[in-house]
Structure 1
Amino acid sequence: MRDMIRVALIKIRGVAGVQDQVLADIGRTISRLARLGLDPVVVVDPADVAETGYVTHERMADLTRLANRIQTGIERDGRKSVVVPPMFSRTTADTGLKWTVPHLLLLPMTSKIIPVVVPVAYDEHASRNTLCAADDVVIELASRIAGLARPDVIALDKVIFLDPVGGIPSTERGAAHVLVNIEQEYDAIMNELTDKRHVANLTALKRVLELSPASTSGLVTTLQVAASQSTRNPLIYNLLTDRPVISSSLPVDGKRAPAQATTLLRRGMPVMLVYSPGGMSLPTVTGPTPDIVNGLVVCDRVAEVDMAKLVELIENSFGRTLDVGRYLARVNGNIAGLVIAGDYEGGAIITWENKPGSDRVAYLDKFAVQRRSQGSAGVADIVFKAMVGLFSKELVWRSRTENVVNKWYFDRSNGMVKLPPGENGTKWTVFYTGTETRERPDVAAYVAVCSGVEPSFK
């Protein structure tokens, strides 16, 4: 029986200006994806050489030549490929596409042949072929594949845009975004974009990811990056790890997070952010949330927090039972901020800590990720980035010295200090990050804060 079809829609723009050797290397990368279990479908995007409209014989010949160049590049690696005939229709030039002849695509895929698609649709009103937007082709294919409701037979795994403009630009990074959480970041990123190509890519990928399963990911990079045969080729790396080549939560310093031309996109999850400059309280664990907890005012958005889920998240992540009463007695009135990702997939609790002779310090009291989401899906990166965004000037936290996650913390910190063993022999390492951190000798304030935090687990 034929294995499940795991579709990778790959749209390539800029073929006309690329050397044959680059296309051959891209073909080799596409073949590697196929050998690793994906079923690539390549869509030619001729937007840089042709306008939409009716397709003459000459224009169809030009489109076929572009498709043939991609086909040749794939077949140079020994993989079979075919340029499929037009298989879309529309009632007028202004109406949406319909994938009317799906077997033209599915038949070669079931035979492990990589199809190359040209964005041509039959205009039923004019009885003529028209050139349509390649993005519309990708969206229609994604919609129909998702609508088949047979995830055990066929599913859309990856959507990859190879485009000369590269990944979605980030003002903060001065290069491409590493990871985009569509649910949280789409509007803010769109407001920053000025290049219409980037706008079109982000808009199309948002639409595709909305139509697809939550596990589907999008990726935008240059043709040259896709042609790379290194072990860090982002197309291959993402397939093997389900992650970007570098972590999106690493500091933007050019060393730990070098400039990238590739962006990984996920439909992702919403992120709740709550900040209190004066300190706030958490709601009760059960029952309706009052406006006042133990005489302390509850911040507006904190009333939305499901404390039962928050406690479950913390206990699941740490594998220990939280002493809720003791914990709330310590932190209520001093909560500086909350980050909650998705349906409590991850979260962070930040408190204001005050020490005599020192300004208050933002302290990361709890950083938690559901165990099922640890090591994948980017939940930790999403929470950490959001938290550092809230407390960009200064943030301090501690971790047991033997904790295996300390390398991850170290890479995201400005510095660290190891504390001497406590009375029970526990060894802690203090980490700090931000744009206005206190270096030695003032780092003693961080040591004082982290030394004085009481245990919160039973």
Structure 2
Amino acid sequence: MLHPPCHRSLFASALKAKCSKPSLQACYATVRGRDPYPDAGDDHNPSDNDFILSILRANPSLRDTRSYLASFGPRPKPQASPISFPTPTTAPTPTTSPIETNPESIPIALEHPKPSPIVASILDPVVRRTALVKMQGPFSEVQLDSIARGMVYLEKLGLVSVIVVENDESIRGDQDDRSAIVEDTMRVVSALEKRGARARPVLGAVVRLGPKPDEDESLGLTPPEAHTFPSDLVGIRSALRSGEIPVIPPFALDSFCRSVRIDSNDVIGALARGMAEAGISSHQATEDAPIDPSEVDLTPLRLMIINREGGVPSYARSGYPHLLINLASEYEFIHDTFQDSWRQTHRTALSNLSLARTCLAYMPPTSSAVMVSHRSQSSLIGNLITNKPAVSSSLPHALLQGNRKLTPHTPTLLRKGLPIRVIRTLDQIDRPKLNALLEQSFGRTLEEDAFYARLEKHLDFVVVAGDYVGAAIVTNEPAPGSELPISYLDKFAVLPSHQGDGTVDFLWVALHDESYGLGHPFSVNPNGGKQGQGNGRDLVWRSRGNNPVNKWYFERSSGHMRMGDWVLFWCDAEKRLKIEEGRRGSQGLSYIESWETGRLSSWTNVVTKIPSSWKNNDAQNSQQI
């Protein structure tokens, strides 16, 4: 269920888009369940209901809603300074009757009443942002209609699409390829308008062939084979200001100023850079000016690749799509594990992967890209509101395989991401950076000497994300009566500034691959650790009972047990369970296996004796691991 604040915030955004008719009474009546315009046509209300249901299916958390409103919600208006009148030094001579000078007789109309918060929310415009959309056809009329409906829903939520049309079956250089792509462009415009949107075909070239003269190669990637200048974006900006969705064919100006068709990826890459630069300069120029509702920030927040193939197939999911891709650490690995058979079924997956990498390098850090089949266009709303994959990649693998939502058409979310590495010795740890990460994440002061003295004796490994923006510390705790130590998750921390950008999932997946997921083929990931070689062990950790993160832990753990003010969590070694399940065949696993007898009491005795890592009894108030 949604939190009540999420309902109010997102329904307010839906109402703003829904109330296209001028009467607030009409909006209120519609929410109450009756149609104030019974003759408006049968295609109006079903569409609106579908729109609201799409928001509900996204199931955003409170953090997701706050993040969405930070980008699309109404901006706070500067408060006007109160007007002060000079106080007279002497009382004025009365020239009117006493009743006219009586303060109680001042007309109350001079006091400006404050509008209702609900009315103000409805009247306040949604801040509009842009998304770059690659519409990779050919699509049938029914498929186009479905995609257009998704674009209209996104526009209602404040995300305006800048669409670049592509046709995989149209060969560049053919005699009729230009007229064919123009026809496809007009089909997209027509589909959008049938769905009630206003669209404008921008048939002139908006990019120029060749790299930009001041091309910066410091990004470490191949720049797009086209570029754009601010003057080239006039048509796009004009369409957006007029409330229209620009639809663009993949044309570019060559050195002879001729309009030629090029690869749509080069057009989108050039637009990603050009629009981001134009958005930054526009923001700097109008930073202190009030927001004009007709103005749209050109900086793209999303890259959406809508095709017939779906996402990037994964070796770890039997060819089903990757759920979340960390481009910084997985880009080369995905190329290396891409099977030959997929080159026929997903011919453009790798080129689209490269496109996402290029565009996200220019887009804001919070931006993401999504590759989605035309069959899953409704998932775009969930991606916009939550900025997360349709199914979390850090969920247990068995749960993912059995989840009905995981299909060949499940979208792939791509983020610029961070490099992930595994450290196994204490002298490789950057202590100042790790200290800063832990203290900022937990809001406590670390007892450094005692903490590192314990790690010197018990450290197993540390998974580090980026430049210490996240870390998972695992220790080996001696278990009485057992030769194998307990694998204990001592700390799991992510900087507040990186919570919600995918770092948590990237970090947990790497933790899985190095601990309880070892031994499975799908644990062979590029994190510099054991590369899936070895036998996994049960992973144990504890968390305060009132820790708001516990819901997240419940979903990823095999089980939990209450220990007073604490909760003990654990993840079973997956390879051992798989072997036992195969050995028993149709009998399945028993309620308690032989190796599970007595382990909870053993874990409890060891875990409860692990000393605090914080100064001044800060651990008593800590809500984290």
TM range (shorter): 0.7 to 0.9
2:172 to 52, 55, 65: 52
Q: CA deviation at 1:65?
A: 1.9
2:451 match? 327
Higher RCO (C-alpha 8 Å, min separation 6):
1
2:236 match? 105
Change in Cα spacing, 1:91 to 1:363, as seen in structure 2 (3 Å) is: closer
1:428 match? 567
Q: CA deviation at 1:92?
A: 8.3
1:25 match? 146
Q: Which moved more, 1:436-445 or 1:407-416?
A: 436-445
Question: Does residue 1:67 correspond to 2:185, yes or no?
Answer: yes
Q: In the alignment, is the contact (CA less than 8 A) between 2:301 and 2:368 conserved in 1? A: yes
Q: What is the TM-score when the length of structure 2 is the normalising length?
A: 0.62
1:139 match? 269
2:558 match? 414
> Larger Cα Rg: Structure 1 or Structure 2?
2
Per-residue CA deviations over 1:286-319 (Å, capped at 9, x if unaligned) read xxxxxxxxxxxx3xxx1xx331221222122222
1:167 match? 311
Q: In the alignment, is the contact (CA less than 8 A) between 2:166 and 2:181 conserved in 1? A: no
Question: Does residue 1:370 correspond to 2:495, yes or no?
Answer: yes
Structure 1 or 2: more helix by fraction: 2
2:411 match? 262
Q: Which amino acid letter does the alignment assign opposite residue 251 of structure 2?
A: V
Structure-2 separation of matches of 1:243 and 1:265: 9
Structure-1 separation of matches of 2:210 and 2:172: 13
Structure-2 separation of matches of 1:89 and 1:412: 46
Q: In the alignment, is the contact (CA less than 8 A) between 1:31 and 1:79 conserved in 2? A: yes
Q: Which moved more, 1:22-31 or 1:249-258?
A: 249-258
Structure 1 or 2: more strand by fraction: 1
Structure-2 separation of matches of 1:73 and 1:67: 10
- Unaligned runs of 5+ residues in structure 2 are 1-124, 212-223, 284-296, 518-535, 578-592, 616-625
- Unaligned runs of 5+ residues in structure 1 are 227-232, 282-297
Q: Which moved more, 1:154-163 or 1:341-350?
A: 341-350
2:205 match? 87
CA RMSD of aligned residues (A): 2.6
Structure-1 separation of matches of 2:311 and 2:148: 20
Question: Does residue 1:6 correspond to 2:135, yes or no?
Answer: no
Q: CA deviation at 1:203?
A: 0.9
What's the secondary structure of 1:236's corresponding residue?
A: helix
Change in Cα spacing, 1:307 to 1:75, as seen in structure 2 (3 Å) is: same
Structure-2 separation of matches of 1:319 and 1:256: 36
Q: Which amino acid letter does the alignment assign opposite residue 200 of structure 1?
A: S
Q: Which moved more, 1:319-328 or 1:378-387?
A: 319-328
Structure-1 separation of matches of 2:228 and 2:210: 15
Change in Cα spacing, 1:98 to 1:207, as seen in structure 2 (3 Å) is: closer
Change in Cα spacing, 1:96 to 1:4, as seen in structure 2 (3 Å) is: farther
Instruction: Indicate the percent of aligned positions where both proteins have the same amino acid.
Output: 30
Q: Which amino acid letter does the alignment assign opposite residue 7 of structure 1?
A: T
Q: In the alignment, is the contact (CA less than 8 A) between 1:119 and 1:134 conserved in 2? A: yes
Structure-2 separation of matches of 1:257 and 1:450: 36
Structure-1 separation of matches of 2:179 and 2:572: 58
Aligned residues: 414
Structure-1 separation of matches of 2:210 and 2:432: 54
Q: CA deviation at 1:339?
A: 1.4
1:356 match? 480
Q: CA deviation at 1:157?
A: 0.7
Q: In the alignment, is the contact (CA less than 8 A) between 2:130 and 2:160 conserved in 1? A: yes
2:599 match? 443
Q: CA deviation at 1:331?
A: 2.2
Q: CA deviation at 1:90?
A: 5.0
Per-residue CA deviations over 1:255-281 (Å, capped at 9, x if unaligned) read 46841520111112222322x3xxx43
Structure-2 separation of matches of 1:23 and 1:161: 14
Change in Cα spacing, 1:4 to 1:143, as seen in structure 2 (3 Å) is: farther
2:545 match? 401
Question: Does residue 1:42 correspond to 2:42, yes or no?
Answer: no
Q: In the alignment, is the contact (CA less than 8 A) between 1:398 and 1:428 conserved in 2? A: yes
Question: Does residue 1:247 correspond to 2:378, yes or no?
Answer: no
